[in-house]
Amino acid sequence: MKGWHGRILRVDLDSGRTWEETLDAKTAKEFIGGRGFGIRYLLKEADPKGDPFCGKNPLIMMAGPLTGTGAPTGARYMVTTLSPLTGAITCSNSGGMFPAELRKAGWDGIIFQGKSSSPVYLWVDGERVELRDATGIWGKTTHETDDILRAETHPQARVSCIGPAGERLVRFAAIMNDKHRAAGRSGVGAVMGSKNLKAVVVRGTGKVPVHDPKAFKEINGKLMKRFKETYKNSPPPLRVHGTAVTVMATQNYGVFPTRNFQTGSFEGWEAIHGETLTRTFLVGHRACFACPISCGRVTRVEEPPFEGEGEGPEYETIYALGSDCGVDNLAAITKANYICNELGLDTISMGSTIACAMELSEKGYLPEKDVGRKLRFGDAEALVELTRMTGYREGFGDVLAEGSLRMATKYGHPELAMVAKGQDFAGYEPRGEQGMGLAYATSPIGASHMRGDPAYFELLGVPCNVDPLTWKDKPPVVAKWQDLFCIIDSAGLCVFYSVRNLIKPELMAPPVGIMELLNAATGADYTLRELEKAGERIFNAERLFLARAGFSRKDDTLPPRMLREPLPEGPGKGMVCHLEEMLEDYYRVRGWDQDGIPTREKLEELGLLELDPSGPKEK
């Protein structure tokens, strides 16, 4: 095989045994890699209704066939498992340098099963694989762990690890690689911690083989030439201001979530905008492997009491720790972001959970004695302190560590948790962006913009403009976009580059550029129809897993605030999310029944019956 190594590393943490498993060509082509491989193995091996912290819950790390090849932004990998936050599937995405290093070491992915009796880390030095004692680094931050393990193994090794939050099973703990890159969502770090697995350290000295090196080089050259011509007069906006530049767009459209989604306009937005971050704290920009965009923010804060340095914050962090909490202090937001990276926390769920606590407190539902203070929106010092407490499960941080829905339920008001399927919203208000509301509700991992991001066409005009306030035309477009993101995630590419540079201007057009790259790399000879079908297959496989776990139409919903309370201001003033009006058409487009379950005919069409020969299980 070319493009794919055809090799999966298996690790049994119960016995300490490791072995190589062959990846067959049919699975490789039909599921592409990354996200596709993750759901393929999860469907085969996980109990959808099992305990996420049980040793039988596999932790699956998979790269794509373009990861590490030198394809533009070919730097991504996916972590797939049963989520302790939602009870659903999670497939959390990260970039940086670690994923490419894994591929250079000769592996397409790693599957961990079981649970070690004591803390360990995995050392992968090319073909040599070894589980090592991690007792001495248990309790260390992600940054300390990275430094210690590279000194212990090889200075050029790359590290993916958990911090104290993962060790303490914080339900939205992240897995951090290269210190600042996060597989952040749904608690993948907590699953890793439940297995007593502190880190994966990889050194690769080889190259990822491609099927047709000459064609691959020509396609890469063509794509990079086009990219450079596009930005010949000025650098990409994401390089200049990072993803935080999005603040202006969401604020202008009235979909910048504010004070736990009570509104979509934040009066302090200019203080936390991307241009403000560039002007005040930016030291430089940083790129992932083979990335021409270089959107990473290297920052430093010298303002007491929020001093620190590191990477970020990104847009989603600025929304969650900023406007959603009513905080316009960029130094405090940046400091809380550093703490999340060092302790291993998802910044979106962290900020969203604090925002929910602030609303509970202001409305008198959260007793002051439980927190030790009255929480109010805009309290920058509380934001930073509660973030640290959550990572260590100290005091009220132990309640926050359970996530916003469990916390709000504990205090009798689950409706104040801004979640879908138990996972917190991203930084887009669905009452003013109807397609995003449908995407949140139907995302296989719970609310997520990165499982098919309508903000590209609803707010940013990429690849074309679609009115964010309309809903009747959204189901087929959202479904198409979700399938496309499956392809991007599985190939090992970054969405930021792929959507803008590999997709035709017509919204429903097939991903020609991605197909060309995949065929040159793998020799799989995908047709456009086969590639589109692969994306649809992956999304339906994820839905099949959800159906086995007991999820259905009743779970494809949003909080009452989104469905019943009109947006109070902005361009979408007076709007609610018309989710119910969209769902029936969405299910029809998908080929699912009225309860949102893939039909036997759809499973047969996609070749998924072999994974579920009896069809969807009875509920």
CATH of the domain at 527: 1.10.599.10
**Domain's final residue, options 393, 417, 441:** 417
Per DSSP bridges, beta strands 197-203 and 282-286 are unpaired
Burial level of 59, CB count in 10 A (0-12/13-18/19+)?
A: buried
| 181-183 and 197-203 beta bridge pairing | unpaired
Query: C-alpha dihedral over 115, 117, 121, 124, to 10 degrees?
Result: -70
**15, exposed or middle or buried, with CB in 10 Å at 0-12, 13-18, 19+?**
exposed
Same domain, 260 and 291: yes
Residue 26 and residue 131 in one domain: yes
Under 8 Å CB-to-CB from 391, ≥6 apart: which residues? Answer: 163, 164, 165, 168, 170, 339, 340, 343, 344, 345, 397
Inside any domain, residue 230 = no
> Do 165 and 128 reside in the same domain of the chain?
yes
Residues 587 and 531 in one domain: yes
The pLDDT score that the predictor gives to residue 614 is 53
Q: What pLDDT is stored for residue 505 in this prediction?
A: 81
C-alpha 253/C-alpha 142 separation (Å) is 37
Q: What is the pLDDT at residue 507?
A: 79
Residue ranges in the chain whose pLDDT is less than 50:
615-619
Position 211 in a domain: no
Are 32 and 534 a contacting pair, CB within 8 Å?
A: yes
Three-class secondary structure of residue 110 per DSSP:
strand
Question: In CATH, what number is assigned to the domain containing residue 383?
Answer: 1.10.569.10
Q: Is residue 495 part of a domain?
A: yes
**Do 559 and 581 fall into the same domain?**
yes
Residue 217 lies in a domain: no
Residue 276 carries which side chain, given as an amino acid letter?
A: T
The reply to whether 503 and 386 lie within a common domain is no
For residue 424, the cross-strand partners are 419
Number of separate domains in the chain: 3
| Residue type at 463 in one-letter notation | P
Tokens 């736990």 locate to: 260
- For residue 309, give both structure tokens: 């340095």
Strands 7-12 and 109-113: parallel
Tell whether 290 and 388 lie within a shared domain: yes
pLDDT at 618: 38
Residue 450 sits at φ, ψ, to 5 deg, of: -90, 15
DSSP tag of 92? E
CA quadruple 476, 479, 484, 486: dihedral, nearest 10 = -170
Answer for the pair 570, 433: CB distance below 8 angstroms, yes or no.
Answer: no
Look at residue 227 and tell me if it is in a domain: no
- Among 357, 382, 417, where does a domain finish? 417
Residues 440 and 401 in one domain: no
Residue 80 to residue 92: CA distance in whole angstroms: 6
Are residues 536 and 394 part of one domain?
A: no
Q: What is the pLDDT of residues 556-587, one digit of tens each?
A: 999 999 999 999 999 999 999 999 999 999 99
Q: Under a CB-based contact definition with an 8 Å cutoff, are residues 188 and 81 in contact?
A: yes
**Is 433 found in the same domain as 376?**
no
Q: Which helix (H) or strand (E) holds 538?
A: helix 528-548
Spatial contact of 228 and 183, defined as CB atoms under 8 Å apart = no
Neighbours of 216 (CB within 10 A): 23
Distance CA 231, CA 581 (A): 41
3-state secondary structure 243-263: HHHHHHHHHHHCCCCECCCCE
Instruction: Let me know whether 498 and 393 are in one domain.
Output: no
Crossing angle (nearest 10°) for helices 347-362 and 380-392: 120
Residue 69 tokens read as 């090849």
SS3 call for 111: strand
Domain that holds residue 321: 238-417
> Rounded to 5 degrees, what are φ and ψ at 161?
-150, 170
How many C-beta atoms surround the C-beta of residue 307 within 10 A?
A: 12
pLDDT at 613: 58
Domain annotation covers residue 329: yes
Q: Quick one: tokens of 347?
A: 């910044």
Are 64 and 137 part of one and the same domain? yes
Distance, in Å, from the CA atom of 490 to the CA atom of 64, rounded to the nearest integer, reads 5
The dihedral formed by the CA atoms of 22, 24, 29 and 32, expressed in degrees to the nearest 10: -30
- Asked whether the beta carbons of 344 and 162 are under 8 A apart, the reply is yes
Note whether residue 215 is domain-resident: no
Is 225 contained in some domain?
Answer: no
Residues in the chain: 619
**CATH classification of the domain holding 61:** 3.60.9.10
